[in-house]
Each structure stands twice: as C-alpha cells, then as structure tokens.
Amino acid sequence: MNMMTIFLQAPAGQSMTPTLIMMGLMFVGFYFLMIRPQMRKQKQEKTFQEALKPGAKVVTTSGMHGTIFSINDDGVVLETLSGKLKFEKAAISRDFTAARFPETLGITKK
C-alpha cells in the first residue's frame, strides 16, 4: 500500500463537525481581525471627506500640505505654496491630517 494513500484516508467513523466548526471559527476570526476594522476605517475616511470645509488645513495621501480653497462635486481645490491644485476628495487623508493638524479634526494635544 502506498504511504500517500494511508495519509489521505480519513479514519473510519469520524464526522466533519469538528472541521466545520474550526472553519467557522476561522471565518469569524478573519471578520473581527481584518474585515470589520477595515470597514470602520473606510467609514471614518468617508465621513471626514464629507465634512471638509474651505479653510481647513489638510494633507493629501501623497504628502501635499495645503488649505482647502474650494470644494466642487468632482474634487477639492487646495491652496499650497506653489499655487492652487485640484485633488480628488479621496486624496485627502484623515490619518495624515490628524497627525499634522489635530485642531482641524477637533483633537486637542495633551
């Protein structure tokens, strides 16, 4: 008898219940460790981008610092040291802005 067939054969009389329970626990673990935090972060970014107002100091995901000059349907116009530049709203990062300009988000430094 081939050694590989011995390892691949399931022992007689065992059910699939423990395997299904383990797979279910793995899915729940992935949900709480990976999917749920990512969804929460996306929701925070979206609410932040919707709450942007002219005059707010922000940082883009590419690291560009500026002040919001105007907000249009298709993007945001930032006033920087080199002039006015147009960006997508998605390019404005909550994380970078919070780290650089906490007063913009209502965060106070201690």
Which strands sit side by side in the sheet containing 83-87, from one edge to the other? Answer: 57-59, 65-72, 75-80, 83-87
pLDDT confidence of residue 99: 82
Residue-wise pLDDT for 42-98, tens only, equals 898 888 888 889 998 999 988 899 999 999 988 899 999 989 999 998 888 887 788
- Nearest 5°: phi and psi at 15? -95, 175
| pLDDT at 6 exceeding the cut of 90 | no
Q: Give the pair of three-digit tokens for residue 89.
A: 């709203």
pLDDT confidence of residue 105: 64
Q: What residue ranges define each of the domains in the chain, with the CATH number in brackets?
A: 20-105 (2.30.30.100)
pLDDT confidence of residue 107: 59
Instruction: Measure the CA–CA gap between 34 and 40, rounded to whole angstroms.
Output: 10
Residue-wise pLDDT for 18-44, tens only, equals 889 999 999 999 998 999 999 998 898
| pLDDT at 16 exceeding the cut of 90 | no
